[in-house]
Chain A
C-alpha cells in the first residue's frame, strides 16, 4: 500500500509553467498583498492600495501580451489537466482585466464621495478578477465552479459594500440568496455530468467515447445551463439583475455588468461548446429560446425605465441575449465573435457608467433621466462622449457596438441555418427597439432644458483615464478592428 502511493506520486507531475500562469499570480498575489497592507495605511497613504491595484492589473495585461507574442499557438494543460491556458482563454482574461482596470479608475473618487471604505474594495475586485480568470481557464468543471464561487462571493460583498443604504443591503442579500441557489444548480449539474461520463474534466467529457447515461448528461447540462444562465442574466433567470444593479453602488454595477458577465460567458463557451459538444442539437434549441427571450424581454423592460442606471441594467440583459446568438451558432468563428462582442460591451458599457458616475457624484444628484437634462449644453464634450457610448450600445456604426454585432450576426448567418437567420432578424429588430431608449438619454442631454443651472461635474484623474480608454476602445474597435486582428483570428478549439 505504501509503495503504491509512492509510485502514484512519483509518476505524477503537476506540469506547471509559471510563465503562462503569470497573470493569475500577479492578480492573486496583489489581492493578498493589498489586504495585508491595508491595515497599516492611514490617511492619504491609503491611495497606495489603489495605485498598486491598477498597476498590478496593467502588469497582468502586459504579461498576457508577452505570453501572447512569445507563444502564439499556446495550448497548455497544467495541474493535471485542471487548468488550461490557450490563446482563447488569454483573450478572455484580457477582457476581464480591462473591465477591472476601468473599474479601479472610476472608483477612487466615487468611493470617497460615497464614503465607502476603500481598502477591501480593491482586494475584492482583484479576487473577483482572479476568480474570473479561473473560470476562463478551467480545464475541469470543479475549477470552473470554484472560480465562479470566488467571483460570486466577491460580488455579493461588493454589492452590499455601501452598508448604510437599504437598497444595497437588499441587493446584496437578494444576490446572495439567488446566487447561492444558482450555484446549487450548477454543482448539481456538474455532479450529473460526472455521473454520466465518469469525469469532471472538460476535455475528457467530450472524449469519453461511451457516455454512460445520456439522460443524466442532459439533466446535468440543463442544470448547468440554469446555473450559468443565472450568472449571465438570461431570461428567465434574470430577476436579480435590475435590483442588484440598481441597488449596488454605481462603480460596482459597472464592474458587474462587464467582467463577471464575460466570465460567465467564458464558462458557457467552455461547458457547452467544448465539454458538451455531443449534445449540440439539444443545446442549440434551448439556447435559441433563451437567446430570443433574453434580448426581447430585456429590451422591452428597458424602454419603460425612468432611471438611467436601471435602464442600463435591463439593457445589459438584452446584450446577453445577443452574445447567446454566438453560442447558438456553435462554430469557432462564433466563439470569436462572442468574445469580440464582450470586449466591445465591456468598454462601451463601462464608458457609459463612467459618465453616469460623474453625473451621480454631484451634490443631491441621482441617476434619473432628469439629472441629465442640460448636460449636453453645460458639458458638450462629455455629452458627445455619452452620445457615442449610447449609439455604440445601440449598435450603430462606426462604433464598437456595431462591429461586435456585425461579427456575431455574420457568424450566425454563416452557418446557413434558417432558425439562426430568424434569430438574427429578431436581434436586428431588437437593436432597432433599443435605439429608442438609448437615444432618450441623448434627447434629455441635448434637447431638454434643465430646471436650474446645471450643477458642476468633478473631473478626477482616474475618471478621465477611464474615459480616454473606453472612448478610444469604442472607436478603435469599431473603426479599425484590424489592429485587433489577433482577436479575430483566435477561436475556441
Chain B
C-alpha cells in the first residue's frame, strides 16, 4: 500500500511538473503546479514530515499560487504579450544547461544510493508541529519576532510606493 501511494503521487508530481512547463496558457500552468505541490505534500506525509506537508499545501498550493493566479488573470495576458521569440542561442543554452543539471542530479543520486548507510534517518519527531514550534519559540524566538518588523516594513513600503497622493493628483 505504501508503495502504491508513493509511486502514484510521485508519478502525478512528475507529470504535472512537466505539464507546468509545456503549457502555453499560464493559467493552466499554475493549476498543474498546484497539483504538483499537492502530490509532493503526500510524499512529505509519507516521510512523516506532517508539518512540512501542511505548510506545503497551506502556503504554497494555497496562498502563493492563488496570488499567482490573481496576478496572471489581472494582467490578462494574450499570446502576443508573451514577448518576442527567444534568441536561438538562448534556447540552445537552455537545453545544454538542462542536460548538465540532469547529469548532475544523476551523479549525486547515484552517489547517495551508494552511501545510503552513512546517512542517518530522521527521528520520528522530525518535522512535526511540536518540534518546529519548540525550536521556533526557544532558540529562534528572536528572529521569529523580528520577522514581524520585517513584514511591517514591507507593508509600509508597499503603501508608500503604491498609494495615491492628493497633491500629486492635482499636479
Contacts and interface: CB of A to CB of B under 8 A. Distances in A.
A binds B: yes
Interface of A: 1, 5, 8-9, 12, 14, 28, 32, 35, 78-80, 82-83, 115, 117, 120, 123-124, 127, 130-131, 134, 140, 142-143, 146-147, 149-150, 153-154, 156-157, 160-161, 163-164, 172
B140 A142 contact: yes
A80 B153 contact: no
B156 to A, nearest CB: 6
A76 to B, nearest CB: 14
Interface in B124-169: 130, 134, 137-143, 146-147, 149-150, 152-154, 156-157, 159-161, 165, 167-168
A35 B130 CA distance: 36
A160 B158 CA distance: 11
A120 B142 contact: no
Given A117-B165, A146-B146, A8 B134 contact: yes
Contacts of A163: 161, 168
Interface residues of B, number: 24
Contacts of B146: 134, 143, 146-147, 150
Nearest to B130: A5
Judged by DSSP, the binding face of B is helix
B139 A82 contact: yes
Judged by DSSP, the binding face of A is helix
A149 B137 CA distance: 21
Contacts of B167: 115
A229 to B, nearest CB: 22
B160 to A, nearest CB: 5
B64 to A, nearest CB: 16
Given A120-B156, A153-B157, A157-B157, A80 B141 contact: yes
B157 A142 contact: no
A133 to B, nearest CB: 11
A278 B153 CA distance: 36
A101 to B, nearest CB: 20
Contacts of B130: 1, 5
B161 A160 contact: yes
Contacts of B149: 28, 127, 130-131, 150
B28 to A, nearest CB: 28
B161 A140 contact: no
B150 A149 contact: yes
Contact of B160 (A83, A115, A150, A157): A157
B153 A127 contact: yes
Contact of A14 (B141, B150, B165): B141
Contacts of B150: 146, 149-150, 153
A83 to B, nearest CB: 6
B142 A80 contact: yes
